[in-house]
Each structure stands twice: as structure tokens, then as C-alpha cells.
Amino acid sequence: MKTVRLTMAQAVIRYLTAQKVEIDGELEPMFAGCWAIFGHGNVAGLGEALYQVRDQLPTWRAHNEQAMSHAAIAYTKTLDRRRMMACTASAGPGSTNMVTAAAVAHVNRLPVLFLPGDTFATRMPDPVLQQVENFHDHTLTSNDCFRPVSRFFDRITRPEQLLTSLPQAMRVLTDPVECGPVTLALPQDVQTMAFDYPEHFFDERIHHPRRQAADRDELSRAIELISTARKPLVVAGGGVHYAQAREALDALVSRYQLPVGETQAGKGALPWDHAQNMGSIGVTGAESTNTLAAEADLIIAVGTRLGDFASGSRAMINPEARILSINVASFDAIKHKSQPLVGDALLTLPELERCLSDWRPDSAWIDRADELRRQWHRSVDVATTDRGTNLPTDAEVVGAVNRAAGEQDIVVCAAGGLPGELQKLWRTRYAKGYHMEYGYSCMGYELAGGVGTKMAKPDSEVFVMVGDGSYLMLNSEIATSVMLGHKIIAVVLDNRGYGCIHRLQQMCGEPGFNNMLDDCLTVEGGAPKTDFAAHAAALGARSEKVGNIQELEAALERAKASSISYVVTLDTDGLVDTEEGGSWWDVAVPEVSVRSEVEEARRRYDEHKARQGKNL
């Protein structure tokens, strides 16, 4: 057997370059590149290995390990999990900085390869710089924090372990059910140890997405169930995108005139003005869809985890309705007492379309859906229209950005009040035009996520919508976007605080406390007014501050014309959000309090909880 003598780190990197995927008949490297912040624990081993292959597998230097991992997550989400990136960080703080990002990838079922440096396997310099010493268990290192947020975890303590570990790692990254973050913790001494690896281990390997057909009996039972329904509602989740089943969904719902509600991850499954698109569903859903959900006799959930925002915390969907859940993962397909139909949406939806043949929903239901849809479009028109004030609402800003965005452009967002407004109001024309990280809703995802999105779709304009709170939490990748030439347009909505949490606090009967900057402990003179435009300029971007929606629209045109990242900021009203649509959300309110407002909020809470019980 021909062998090649390589260090463990060289073998990891060489193996990554040999992995390919086929997209539309073209072979592409599975790994677009590796984000890296070097330090003690990865600079000598992995750093040397990455340098050797820098022409094949680019290494990108970022400014924060969590943020660079957000870029990797956004990249693969934009490409429907077909291609991905690796992320490496030094042992200790650099690596634990990636743990939150691993959780983001885990919740959203997105593949990212994490390669954290780890402390010495030989333990000779114990305790080495940046080693967390565990008093009772010497097999633990800080990288064990990745275990609950990884779909596959291994620590490579001997170079030959790669021979069995790397193929498993690739399996998890490419498996539609298992898909998610993979962590290979790499002790810094083992990274540098050499081994005679078989040459064939590094042969090119082409990965094809596995498409799992539905079980025949399960399919028959699903058809039987649908055939008895008179008032069905389809819920389209992120799985519709990941299975590339958008056209199959369109064909099914158009033929049978099925109303569709989109989740945060599913938005864009149908264009906003499609005759069957009722708008979004759930806590931040459209009046039209949520009304239908409360009246439907059958929910056909496609590729959704049925999270609490989609289900209105289990209190929104008609408790008498049956749920059919089409999902590639049985884990998701059985939730909410659903009748499962396990299978890939691209294979399963056409089967349903073929087999339902003469069945149709009630014509009154079809008419009602159509009327509700038209009404909802009018509500969106009103909410997103510029009222001409100097303190616009988030909804008005959403309207302005939506009008500025072209046919192939993308909006990126993750946390704060904006995800709700965007889910309700954003009119998605391009299937990949709505990029929302709302599985973990991680503040600080937005700007770095925008960079990863741009790397995936360089021809699209990427509009990042971000609140002042999220911006201040993690903004360093603006500098990376300028450095690497991945232009984003960021719109910073400055309402001086955590507006959405402030509103939530008020709904729970509590006074304004520790959310808006004016409600926080400060020295005399109050919290500073952050100059976001000056800040972004200091990081190398172009920027400006505008005073109203009209000025914003003009600034967005300048931003589009810019070749480098462009940040536009404006003051917004933190006290309002769009009231139309939406449904209850389960946020636990104190059972006893000295405040009567809290007790009143608790009474309202208990009423909703009672409704929820019927739907468990």
C-alpha cells in the first residue's frame, strides 16, 4: 500500500480538499475555505497545513471567532447546505468563542466543521496557557463544551484516528437528517505528529445529497388523511429550501388550491404574491394565515421543526385539527401528535400531488383564504408606508429596504424586533431573498451573517437589517467585509436599547428596567449616543446617518452604487411594532408579585395556558 507521511493537521486539511459536491452537474469543492484566527494551539500545526494548500483552500482571517463562524453558517444556509466552510481557533478562549456559533448551527441544522485547537494530549506542559483545569476529570477540556452543540464530536488523540473519524465527520455534514455542526478537537501536539497515511485515503470523494423516499404505507395513510380534509393549511418550513422542493411545493399547492403559511426558515418557499401564499404563520405571523390555522381541520407541515414561534406556542392551531408532518427526520415528524410522513420533500410532495387526483378542499375555504390574503396585503401596504415622521417605525424601514432591494437581493437578520416585522411584512420575490436566523435568534449574527451570505451569492446585494443592540454586540466583521471585498449594506435601526425586550417586559406588567438605555444604571448625563456611522467608517466602511425614510431611500441608492460595505443608520421608534396579525407567545409571568400589573399579566397568561393544554 502506498503511503504518504503527513502530520495529523496536514492530513485533515488534505482530506478536506479532496471532498467534492456535484451542483447542477458541476463538481465543486465541498469546503469553500477555512476561517481561521490563529493562536497557541493551532498556529504551528493547522496553520502550517493551511499555508501549504492556500491556493486550493483559502484561509480567511476574521476578527472574532464567533462572528467568523456566523459567516460560515450563513454561507451554507444560503446554499441550501450544499457547500460549507471550516472554522479553526486557538485552544481555550478562541475555541470557546465558537461554542455559541456551534449552537446556532445545531439549532438551524446547518453544516459547519469546527476545528478547535485543544490542550496537549501528552499533558506535558500541564497546565498549559489557556487550559481550563478540571479538578476531578482530567479527560475534560474546555472543548467538551462543544459536545451538546455538535452533531458529531471527536477528539483526535492519535494521528491514525483520522482514518475512521474524518469519514464519519463528512457523513454527518452531508446527511440530510443528521446534518449540523461537527467538532474535531485537535490537541496541538497531535496536530504536529506524523503518520504514514494510505494514499487512497485522500482520493477525491464526491458527495451526493441522499434523497429518502417515503414509506409506502405511511404515504397511503397520509393520502387517506388528506382526502378526508375540507379545510387544509400547508405550513412551509426551512426543509422546503434544503430539499430544493420549492417547485414541487408550488405544483402541489397550485393544483389543489391549498393555502400556505411560511415559517421564518420557510419564507421564500413561494413568492410573496403567489395566489396560495397566505403570508407567514405563528407568533409573528400574518392575520390571514393565523386565522386559517385556527379554523383548519388539517395542517400539512412540510420541513418544519414546529417550534413555538411557528405554532403560536401550541395555542394557535385549531385543537381539533389533525397534523400531518412531512419531514426527512422522524425526530421532527412526530411532534405535536402529528401523523408522520418521513421522507424528502422533493420526492414526497410530487407523490401526494399524483395520488390525491380528484380531491379538493371546500370551495368556501378556498374563497375565504383568498379574501383573507387580499386583506393582509392591504395591511402590509399600510404598515410599510412612510408616514413622513422623523422617528420611523421598524415597519416603515422594512418597507423602504424592501423597495430598494432588487429581484435577486437578500435581506439578512436574526434578533430583536426586526425578525417579527420582517416575517410579517417583507415581500420575498427571490426564493433565497429572505435570510433569517431565527432558530437560535443570536444577537450578533447579522453583520457577519451578511458577509457569509455575500460569499455565497456575490451577485446579490445583501441588506443586513440590525438593531443598535445587536450591532454593539458584534460588529467586527464589517472590517472583514472590507478587507475581503464582500460588500454588505447594513441598515442600523437605533432605538437606543433592547426595544423588543422592553416591550415584552411591559406586556409582563413590569416597568421599563435595564433594556432601553434611558432605563439603565448610568452615570449622570446618561448613556452615550453611539455614532454608528462614525463607528462603521472607523472599520473601513462607507457610512451615513439619515433622518427619515425619504433620506433613507436616497442613501440606499448610494449604498447600492458603492463597491465597498456601506452602513446607513437612523433613529427609530422603539416603542411600537406592527399590531396586525401575530399570536400569543408563551413567556412565563411571575405567579406572585407586589405589582398589580404583573398579577394582571399573570391572569392573562393563565388564560392562554389553558388554551395551550388542548393542543399538546
**Which residues lie near ligand TPP (CB under 6 A)?**
415-418, 441-444, 467-470, 495, 498-501, 574
Of the two residues 190 and 397, which places its CB atom closer to Mg ion in the complex?
Answer: 397
The interface partner of residue 443, options being ligand TPP, Mg ion, none and the CB cut-off 5 to 8 Å by kind, is ligand TPP
Q: Does 467 bind Mg ion (CB under 5 A)?
A: yes
In the DSSP assignment, the letter for residue 131 is: P
Residue 599, C-beta contacts closer than 8 angstroms, at least 6 positions apart: 509, 592, 593
Residue 272, C-beta contacts closer than 8 angstroms, at least 6 positions apart: 279, 426, 427, 428, 429
The interface partner of residue 116, options being ligand TPP, Mg ion, none and the CB cut-off 5 to 8 Å by kind, is none
User: 432, 425, 542: which is closest to 482 by C-alpha?
Assistant: 542
Q: Which amino acid is at 392?
A: P
The interface partner of residue 417, options being ligand TPP, Mg ion, none and the CB cut-off 5 to 8 Å by kind, is ligand TPP
User: 202, 182, 176: which is closest to 19 by C-alpha?
Assistant: 202
Q: How far is the CB of 561 from ligand TPP (least distance, A)?
A: 27
CA distance 543 to 153: 42
- Point out which span in 114-122, 374-382, 435-443, 464-472 binds Mg ion (CB under 5 A): 464-472
Q: How far is the CB of 500 from Mg ion (least distance, A)?
A: 8
User: 593, 584, 597: which is closest to 308 by C-alpha?
Assistant: 584
Of the two residues 119 and 543, which places its CB atom closer to ligand TPP in the complex?
Answer: 543
CA distance 243 to 4: 38
Of the two residues 343 and 499, which places its CB atom closer to Mg ion in the complex?
Answer: 499
C-alpha cell at 535: 463607528
Of the two residues 250 and 577, which places its CB atom closer to Mg ion in the complex?
Answer: 577
Longest dimension (CA), the chain: 79
Q: Does 468 bind Mg ion (CB under 5 A)?
A: yes
Q: Cα 433 vs. chain centroid, distance in angstroms?
A: 13
Q: How far is the CB of 411 from Mg ion (least distance, A)?
A: 18
In the DSSP assignment, the letter for residue 305 is: -
Q: Are 543 and 537 in contact (CB under 8 A)?
A: yes
Q: Write down the H helix ranges in 159-215.
A: 162-174, 188-191
C-alpha cell at 528: 452615550
Of the two residues 94 and 420, which places its CB atom closer to Mg ion in the complex?
Answer: 420
The interface partner of residue 418, options being ligand TPP, Mg ion, none and the CB cut-off 5 to 8 Å by kind, is ligand TPP
* Gap between the terminal Cα atoms of the chain: 59
Of the two residues 307 and 467, which places its CB atom closer to Mg ion in the complex?
Answer: 467
Q: How far is the CB of 417 from ligand TPP (least distance, A)?
A: 3
Of the two residues 288 and 515, which places its CB atom closer to ligand TPP in the complex?
Answer: 515
**Residue of minimal CB distance from Mg ion?**
467
Q: Which of 266, 449, 469, 581 binds Mg ion (CB under 5 A)?
A: 469
For residue 571, what are the β-bridge partners? 494
Residue 615, C-beta contacts closer than 8 angstroms, at least 6 positions apart: 311, 314, 315, 317, 319, 336
Q: How far is the CB of 467 from Mg ion (least distance, A)?
A: 4
The interface partner of residue 170, options being ligand TPP, Mg ion, none and the CB cut-off 5 to 8 Å by kind, is none
User: H or E stretch including 354?
Assistant: helix 345-356
User: 390, 376, 436: which is closest to 410 by C-alpha?
Assistant: 436
Q: How far is the CB of 402 from ligand TPP (least distance, A)?
A: 17
Q: How far is the CB of 97 from ligand TPP (least distance, A)?
A: 12
Residue 388: exposed, middle, or buried by beta-carbon count in 10 A (0-12, 13-18, 19+)? exposed
Q: Cα 128 vs. chain centroid, distance in angstroms?
A: 36
User: 454, 440, 428, 407: which is closest to 75 by C-alpha?
Assistant: 454
Three-class SS state of 488: coil
Residue 515, C-beta contacts closer than 8 angstroms, at least 6 positions apart: 497, 498, 499, 501, 502, 505
- Point out which span in 81-89, 187-195, 418-426, 491-499 binds Mg ion (CB under 5 A): 491-499
Of the two residues 269 and 443, which places its CB atom closer to ligand TPP in the complex?
Answer: 443
Q: How far is the CB of 350 from Mg ion (least distance, A)?
A: 45
Q: How far is the CB of 444 from ligand TPP (least distance, A)?
A: 6
Q: How far is the CB of 375 from Mg ion (least distance, A)?
A: 30
- Point out which span in 136-144, 209-217, 477-485, 499-507 binds Mg ion (CB under 5 A): 499-507
Of the two residues 83 and 502, which places its CB atom closer to Mg ion in the complex?
Answer: 502
Of the two residues 8 and 500, which places its CB atom closer to ligand TPP in the complex?
Answer: 500
The interface partner of residue 132, options being ligand TPP, Mg ion, none and the CB cut-off 5 to 8 Å by kind, is none
Q: Does 499 bind Mg ion (CB under 5 A)?
A: yes
Please tell me the number of Cα atoms within 13 Å of 425 on its side-chain side.
28
Of the two residues 234 and 473, which places its CB atom closer to Mg ion in the complex?
Answer: 473
The interface partner of residue 348, options being Mg ion, ligand TPP, none and the CB cut-off 5 to 8 Å by kind, is none
The interface partner of residue 470, options being Mg ion, ligand TPP, none and the CB cut-off 5 to 8 Å by kind, is ligand TPP
Q: How far is the CB of 494 from ligand TPP (least distance, A)?
A: 8
Whether omega for the bond prior to residue 361 falls within 30 degrees of 0, making it cis, is no
Q: How far is the CB of 470 from ligand TPP (least distance, A)?
A: 4
The site for Mg ion, by CB under 5 A, has a size of 5
CA distance 419 to 266: 13
Of the two residues 181 and 467, which places its CB atom closer to Mg ion in the complex?
Answer: 467
Q: Does 444 bind Mg ion (CB under 5 A)?
A: no
Q: Which residues bind Mg ion (CB under 5 A)?
A: 467-469, 495, 499
